Protein backbone atom coordinates (compact mmCIF):
# COMPACT_ATOMS: atom_id res chain seq x y z
CA UNK A 1 0.00 0.00 0.00
CA UNK A 2 1.12 3.51 -0.67
CA UNK A 3 -0.04 7.02 0.17
CA UNK A 4 -1.94 8.80 -2.63
CA UNK A 5 -2.35 12.57 -2.72
CA UNK A 6 -5.34 14.22 -4.39
CA UNK A 7 -7.94 16.93 -3.87
CA UNK A 8 -11.71 16.60 -3.93
CA UNK A 9 -13.59 19.76 -4.85
CA UNK A 10 -16.98 19.97 -3.15
CA UNK A 11 -20.11 21.11 -4.94
CA UNK A 12 -22.39 23.70 -3.33
CA UNK A 13 -20.27 24.53 -0.27
CA UNK A 14 -18.77 28.01 -0.72
CA UNK A 15 -17.02 28.07 2.65
CA UNK A 16 -15.59 25.27 4.78
CA UNK A 17 -16.98 25.61 8.29
CA UNK A 18 -15.92 23.92 11.52
CA UNK A 19 -19.16 21.93 11.44
CA UNK A 20 -18.49 20.75 7.86
CA UNK A 21 -14.90 19.83 8.77
CA UNK A 22 -16.13 17.82 11.74
CA UNK A 23 -18.67 15.96 9.59
CA UNK A 24 -15.92 15.06 7.12
CA UNK A 25 -13.62 13.85 9.89
CA UNK A 26 -16.36 11.76 11.49
CA UNK A 27 -17.28 10.16 8.14
CA UNK A 28 -13.76 8.77 7.64
CA UNK A 29 -11.87 11.70 6.15
CA UNK A 30 -9.36 11.76 9.03
CA UNK A 31 -6.56 11.57 6.45
CA UNK A 32 -7.50 14.89 4.87
CA UNK A 33 -7.24 18.64 5.29
CA UNK A 34 -10.43 20.54 4.44
CA UNK A 35 -10.39 24.17 3.37
CA UNK A 36 -11.87 26.77 1.08
CA UNK A 37 -10.62 29.51 -1.20
CA UNK A 38 -12.49 32.06 -3.29
CA UNK A 39 -15.89 30.50 -2.67
CA UNK A 40 -14.83 26.90 -3.37
CA UNK A 41 -14.42 24.22 -0.69
CA UNK A 42 -11.91 21.43 -1.13
CA UNK A 43 -10.57 18.45 0.77
CA UNK A 44 -6.88 17.55 0.34
CA UNK A 45 -6.31 13.83 0.93
CA UNK A 46 -3.27 11.71 1.79
CA UNK A 47 -4.98 8.32 1.58
CA UNK A 48 -3.37 4.91 1.86
CA UNK A 49 -4.61 2.39 -0.70
CA UNK A 50 -3.34 -0.14 -3.22
CA UNK A 51 -4.12 2.20 -6.15
CA UNK A 52 -4.96 5.84 -6.78
CA UNK A 53 -8.37 4.87 -8.14
CA UNK A 54 -9.18 2.88 -4.98
CA UNK A 55 -8.04 5.79 -2.79
CA UNK A 56 -10.15 8.32 -4.69
CA UNK A 57 -13.27 6.16 -4.79
CA UNK A 58 -13.10 5.45 -1.06
CA UNK A 59 -12.60 9.16 -0.33
CA UNK A 60 -15.59 10.07 -2.50
CA UNK A 61 -17.68 7.52 -0.58
CA UNK A 62 -16.58 9.11 2.72
CA UNK A 63 -17.39 12.62 1.46
CA UNK A 64 -20.85 11.42 0.39
CA UNK A 65 -21.29 9.76 3.80
CA UNK A 66 -20.67 13.21 5.35
CA UNK A 67 -23.53 14.56 3.23
CA UNK A 68 -21.54 16.51 0.63
CA UNK A 69 -21.52 16.34 -3.16
CA UNK A 70 -18.31 16.06 -5.18
CA UNK A 71 -17.79 18.46 -8.06
CA UNK A 72 -14.56 16.90 -9.32
CA UNK A 73 -11.19 15.44 -8.32
CA UNK A 74 -7.75 16.91 -8.95
CA UNK A 75 -4.39 15.13 -8.92
CA UNK A 76 -1.26 14.70 -11.00
CA UNK A 77 -2.55 11.43 -12.52
CA UNK A 78 -4.78 12.94 -15.18
CA UNK A 79 -5.88 9.63 -16.75
CA UNK A 80 -7.32 8.16 -13.53
CA UNK A 81 -8.91 11.47 -12.56
CA UNK A 82 -10.42 11.93 -16.01
CA UNK A 83 -12.12 8.52 -15.74
CA UNK A 84 -13.43 9.26 -12.24
CA UNK A 85 -14.61 12.77 -13.13
CA UNK A 86 -16.39 11.35 -16.19
CA UNK A 87 -18.17 8.87 -13.91
CA UNK A 88 -19.22 11.70 -11.60
CA UNK A 89 -20.77 13.58 -14.51
CA UNK A 90 -22.77 10.52 -15.55
CA UNK A 91 -24.19 9.81 -12.08
Question: DSSP per residue over 6-31, as a string?
Answer: EEEEEES-SS--HHHHHHHHHTT-TT
pLDDT over 60 (residue 25): yes
CATH 3.40.50 corresponds to the domain 2-12+23-90: no
Does residue 60 contact residue 12 with C-beta atoms inside 8 Å? no
pLDDT at 81: 62
pLDDT at 83: 67
List beta partners, residue 43. 8, 34
pLDDT tens-digit readout, 60-79 = 999 999 999 999 999 886 65
Q: Residue 12: left if φ>0, alpha if ψ -120 to 50, beta else—which one?
A: left
* Structural domain boundaries in the chain: 2-12+23-90
Amino acid sequence: MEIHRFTIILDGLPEMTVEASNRLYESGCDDSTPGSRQGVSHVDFHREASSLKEAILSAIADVHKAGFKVSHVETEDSETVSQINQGLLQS
